[in-house]
């Protein structure tokens, strides 16, 4: 019988899901990979969908109606769907047929008795409490959080991407330290081949990439950019992913673009800035560093692991527009500093934040080789 891995994920997209699939194929070439895609299975079960929607509105109805919560996000955070997924996975996976299971994220518990289960996640829900200004009333149902704890309890090992999640698992979920292993993550775009096309970092071009304009700190960036223009009137701000209405010169919002087209925007920028308020990890930071861009970001979540203040970029506190403007101005006006920070960030991600390195750590922890 061939060696087999059960890979459980919710969706095939976004790109991180494809990257982890390829990681497993490359890291364990002697194993067959069976993919269990939960969203596809559940879409085919109208009874589960309808019953879960009732539970969604039971727990989160007011927040959804008031616009504070999103239905799609709440759908995966009810005790009902958690328990149904547990049962579905148990029926689909025969522990005699697989060597181990590997689940992406911790929205569900894919462990099956008698089969080692490895979890790879970029977040815990209670880590939200460590973000400045987080409203604790926005935590999901306590009944769901109680079930989330069982994901970590039942896991053979938990692979995470950053030191803050390691602390959260140990301190907030009482997970044994030896069960937690930080393996980081890789970039979802191609490695840099040519040098950036930013006129030697002198084109004064700032790039923002993010879908959630408010949470990613977009409004604060616009206020800071207005201050940057007072010193550098030729500076430019390009906003990718979001389409806010911005009444400032030299500012362009292009909205969503395909991943393959993102290279053009990274390639033409001199500075990357994402002053996010909350961030499970932030793959765009790794993408920016992989294009040798200096980064200005906020001192939250995983970000201090790779944005090393004064070395690979600048860190500012959430909501500090003046500090944000000062950091951007210091880079926009100094191409050599941009180049030095960009080179340092590139070296860091090349050594640590690449899928080959991640795979080596995962394999070593699972197989001991």
How confident is the model at residue 218, as a pLDDT? Answer: 97
Following DSSP, what letter does each residue of 338-366 receive, concatenated?
HHHHHHHHHHHHHHTSSHHHHHHHHHHHH
Residue range(s) of every CATH 3.40.50.2000 domain in the chain: 4-186+354-367, 205-351
Chain segment 162-204, per-residue pLDDT in tens: 999 999 999 999 999 999 999 999 987 776 666 788 899 999 9
How confident is the model at residue 193, as a pLDDT? Answer: 63
List average pLDDT for each run of 10 residues in the chain, which is 369 residues long.
Answer: 91 88 96 97 97 98 96 97 98 96 97 97 96 94 98 98 97 97 88 77 96 96 97 97 93 90 91 95 92 96 96 97 98 97 95 94 91
> What's the CATH architecture for 4-186+354-367?
3-Layer(aba) Sandwich (3.40)
Long-range contacts of 256-261 (CB under 8 A, 24+ apart): 256/211, 259/15, 259/188, 259/189
Q: Are 250 and 237 in contact (CB under 8 A)?
A: yes
In the numeric block, the tokens 């292993």 are attached to 181
Fold of 205-351: Rossmann fold (3.40.50)
The pLDDT > 70 percentage for the chain reads 98
Distances (CA, A) of 249 to 70, 235, 324: 33, 9, 19
- Give the C-alpha separation, 29 to 15, whole Å: 21
Chain segment 50-90, per-residue pLDDT in tens: 999 999 999 999 999 999 999 999 999 999 999 999 999 99
In the numeric block, the tokens 């697989």 are attached to 98
Q: Are 358 and 161 in contact (CB under 8 A)?
A: no
């Amino acid at each position: 019988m061939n060696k087999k891995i059960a890979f459980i994920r919710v969706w095939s997209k976004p790109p991180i899901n494809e990257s982890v699939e390829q990681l497993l194929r490359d890291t364990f070439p002697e194993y067959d990979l069976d993919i269990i895609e939960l969203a596809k299975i559940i879409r085919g079960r109208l009874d589960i969908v309808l019953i879960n929607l009732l539970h969604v509105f039971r727990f989160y109805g007011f927040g959804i109606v008031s616009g504070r919560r999103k239905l799609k996000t709440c759908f995966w955070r009810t005790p009902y769907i958690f328990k149904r997924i547990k049962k579905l996975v148990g029926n689909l996976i025969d522990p005699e047929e697989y060597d181990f299971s590997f689940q992406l994220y911790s929205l569900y518990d894919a462990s099956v008795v008698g089969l080692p289960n490895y979890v790879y996640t970029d977040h815990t829900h209670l880590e939200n409490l460590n973000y400045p200004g987080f409203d604790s009333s926005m935590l999901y149902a306590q009944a769901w959080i109680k079930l989330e704890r069982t994901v970590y309890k039942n896991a053979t090992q938990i692979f995470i991407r950053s030191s803050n999640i390691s602390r959260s698992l140990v301190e907030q979920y009482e997970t044994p330290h030896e069960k937690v292993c930080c393996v980081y993550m890789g970039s979802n775009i191609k490695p840099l081949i040519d040098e950036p096309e930013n006129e030697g970092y002198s084109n004064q071009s700032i790039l923002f990439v993010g879908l959630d304009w408010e949470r990613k700190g977009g409004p604060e960036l616009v206020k800071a950019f207005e201050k940057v223009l007072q010193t550098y009137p030729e500076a430019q701000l390009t906003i990718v992913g979001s389409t806010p209405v911005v009444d400032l010169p030299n500012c362009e919002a292009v909205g969503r673009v395909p991943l393959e087209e993102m290279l053009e925007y990274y390639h033409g920028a001199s500075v990357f800035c994402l002053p996010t308020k909350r961030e499970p990890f932030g793959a765009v930071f790794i993408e920016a560093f992989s294009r040798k861009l200096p980064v200005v970001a906020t001192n939250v979540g995983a970000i201090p692991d790779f944005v090393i203040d004064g070395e690979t970029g600048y860190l500012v506190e959430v909501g500090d527009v003046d500090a944000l403007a000062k950091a951007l101005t210091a880079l926009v006006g100094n191409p050599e500093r941009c180049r030095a920070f960009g080179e340092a960030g590139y070296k860091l991600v090349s050594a640590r934040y690449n899928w080959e390195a991640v795979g080596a750590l995962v394999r070593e922890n699972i197989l001991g080789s």
